[in-house]
Amino acid sequence: MRNCDWTEKVSLLIDGELGSEEANAVETHLGDCFACRMAREDFLLFRHRISSYQPDINLLAQREALRNILAAGRADNSTADPALASPAVGRRFSFAGLFALPSLNPGLVAASVLVLVCVVAGLLMLRGDSKPEQVATNPQTAPAPPSTSAPVASPERAGRTDGQGTVNSGVVDPTGGPGHIEVVKIRPKGVGSNELVKGFQPKGVGGTNSGDKYRPKGATDIDARAGREESAKLPREVLDIPFVIPPRVDVEALEFSEAEVASGVVTGRADAPTGLSTARHAEQAQNLLRSFRNASAADASDLAYERERSQELLYQNIVLRREAARGGKTSVEATLSQLETILLDIANLPEKPASEDVRSIKNRMERKNIVAMLQVAARD
Amino acid sequence: MASRDEEFARFFDEFYPSLCRFLECLLGGRGAARQTAQDVAQESFLQLHRTGLENLPEGEARFWLFRVARNLALNELNKRQTRHRLFDKVASAFRAHVPGPEEEFEMAERRQRVLEMLSLLPEHQRTALLLREQEEMSYREIAEVLGVSEAKVKVDVFRARTSLREKWGRREAALAARGQAG
């Protein structure tokens, strides 16, 4: 496996990290250099394998996790001491909590010894109520028992508090280096700035809905619908937690079954994909993307055509991507996968899209260098 | 409170699966490790809930989350290395039968291959590559999450890819040779 000097540039090209001039130069070089073409194939294959990895989680586990977190959050708010309030999250932490002692202060030890002495001395007479009495007779030394609704967390899990709002949460400070544990300040709501976010600058990433504002536009939706069927079987209290999926074009609903494709049922759909070649599709997609790139975001009506055309091409794209996957054409499949997310975003634009959203899709196109990739796909 | 929780739930629904995916690939997603990945994801979200989405600059919550998750995962990896050093001596004597590929489902097998492939990389390269390929973050965004320079991200991603090519290629060739010999 011989590497050419341009291999690093190929890596940058597929990440969309090259300027247009440099990207063109690398594209030209790719035409002549077999080693670089192989490198690109391999890099795209790795990309495909890594990005198509599906985590092994189901909706029920996800709901449970959310419920635990929200419950922990509520407990935090209802008691001033987060170290005592946070319940163990997850199996590991639940077990850890069993072995955690609230503290080992001398008062507690003295009270325990006293209890033991009493138990031994008057076992029959005092059975059943000796312990509460001992705790109650010495309120100065015995710590208040933790609330039954809020299990005592282990030191590992919940950390300790110094009573000043400073909590050693047992969590690596996100602003610190690897393996570096620092005291993390969790400030009371609405007071001062948060140390955890120091160093972050707002980027002004916007979105069409509240979920999108957290998502740089490239992020892939994985498994958002994986448990939808499962939800029919879920217990009521799990389903009660709000689960909001913004209205989108549903790729799953667009997927054709093998039988459908084989039997030609899909020809009944708009812009039937039968008989299409990848090259032709790549050309059509290029035209659409160029048109979208040149469209003025200020005039929303300009994008009506692009939106509609994206929806049409999405059908074709899904069929061709699946065909490429079946035929083992990994680089074509990877390119079509990249294209699909762009088409989906354009198809999902509202009637009057915010210029920010349009710009962000354009930026993604630029970053992915999708038009250049389509050119290559059309040539191949 | 309700709207704060709703906002959080929406954010959670959007990013919990991708955070689990990232952590599974970072930690290695087999058996108990998979559960650990989900625990770490849950813990990261708990930290986020305590900090409050509203206290983070707009658009930064996702980077903050991945940064916390990565640091928690690093702690977990350190702990695991210590455990493994002690455990491996005993376990080597009772090595369980590793099921052959024909005994596994295709999906599980594919997942396994990805994890094996990623385990060939050092942690910093693996993280940078995962954030690039799975989360589609730009080099600048990855640099922000990891607290390193863009130049380092560029080098790490490239080295991760070339390293995968070499190591994976060698591995496949060895497997093919073994298959022919068999």
Asked whether residue B174 carries a pLDDT value surpassing 60, the answer given is yes
Residues B103-112: what's their mean pLDDT? 68
Asked whether residue A215 carries a pLDDT value surpassing 60, the answer given is no
Asked whether residue A296 carries a pLDDT value surpassing 90, the answer given is no
Residue (of A30, A5, A12) closest to A380 by Cα position = A30
Residues B3-15: what's their mean pLDDT? 88
- Look at residue A292 in the predicted model and tell me its pLDDT: 82
CA distance A178 to chain B (A): 6
Q: Which residue has the higher pLDDT, B70 or A93?
A: B70
B134–A53 CB contact, under 8 Å:
yes
Among the partner-chain residues A15, A199, A214, the one whose CB lies closest to the CB of B11 is A214
Asked whether residue B144 carries a pLDDT value surpassing 70, the answer given is yes
For B150, the token pair is 């863009």
What distance in Å separates the CA atoms of residue B24 and residue A38, rounded to the nearest whole number?
29
What distance in Å separates the CA atoms of residue A182 and residue A176, rounded to the nearest whole number?
8
The sign of the CA dihedral A92, A93, A95, A96 is: positive
A194–B56 CB contact, under 8 Å:
yes
Q: Model confidence at A298, in pLDDT bands (50, 70, 90)?
A: low
A191-217: b (≥16 Cβ within 10 Å) or e: eeebbbbeebeeeebbbbeebbbbbbb
Residue percentage of chain B with pLDDT more than 70:
76
- Look at residue A114 in the predicted model and tell me its pLDDT: 76
A173–B71 CB contact, under 8 Å:
yes
Residues B115-143: what's their mean pLDDT? 92
- Look at residue A11 in the predicted model and tell me its pLDDT: 94
CA distance B81 to chain A (A): 13
Check residue A323 and give left, alpha or beta (phi > 0: left; psi -120 to 50: alpha): alpha
Q: What is the pLDDT of residues A142-166, one digit of tens each?
A: 333 333 333 333 333 333 333 333 3
Q: What is the pLDDT of residues A103-155, one digit of tens each?
A: 445 566 677 777 777 677 777 665 555 444 333 333 343 333 333 333 333 33
ipTM of the complex: 0.79
Residue (of B176, B133, B135, B126) closest to B156 by Cα position = B126
Residue A210, amino acid: S
Q: What is the pLDDT of residues A164-185, one digit of tens each?
A: 333 333 334 443 443 333 333 3
What distance in Å separates the CA atoms of residue A274 and residue A162, rounded to the nearest whole number?
69
Q: Which residue has the higher pLDDT, B17 or A312?
A: B17
B17–A68 CB contact, under 8 Å:
no
Helix (H, G, I), strand (E, B) or coil at A168: strand
Residue of chain B minimizing CA distance to A58: B17
Cβ of residue A137 closer than 8 Å to a chain B Cβ: no
Judge contact between A224 and B10, C-beta under 8 A.
no
Q: How far apart are the first and last CA of chain A?
A: 23
Judge contact between A362 and A293, C-beta under 8 A.
yes
A171–B55 CB contact, under 8 Å:
no
Q: Which residue has the higher pLDDT, A132 or B81?
A: B81
Query: What does R_g of chain A's alpha carbons equal in angstroms?
Result: 30
Check residue A192 and give left, alpha or beta (phi > 0: left; psi -120 to 50: alpha): left
Choose the most confident range, by mean pLDDT, from A68-77, A188-197, B58-67. Answer: B58-67
Residue of chain B minimizing CA distance to A13: B158
Judge contact between A217 and A345, C-beta under 8 A.
yes
B135–A189 CB contact, under 8 Å:
no
What distance in Å separates the CA atoms of residue A199 and residue A151, rounded to the nearest whole number?
35
Among the partner-chain residues A17, A51, A213, the one whose CB lies closest to the CB of B133 is A51
CA distance A301 to chain B (A): 28
Residues A14-40: what's their mean pLDDT? 91
What distance in Å separates the CA atoms of residue A53 and residue A376, rounded to the nearest whole number?
26
Of A69-73, A137-141, A220-224, the one with minimum mean pLDDT is A137-141
Q: Which residues have CB under 8 Å from B74's CB, separation 6+?
A: A172, A178, A179, B123
The CA distances from residue B18 to A178, B27, B37, B45, B139, in Å, are 21, 14, 11, 12, 19
- Look at residue B146 in the predicted model and tell me its pLDDT: 94
Q: Which residue has the tokens 């290695």?
A: B28
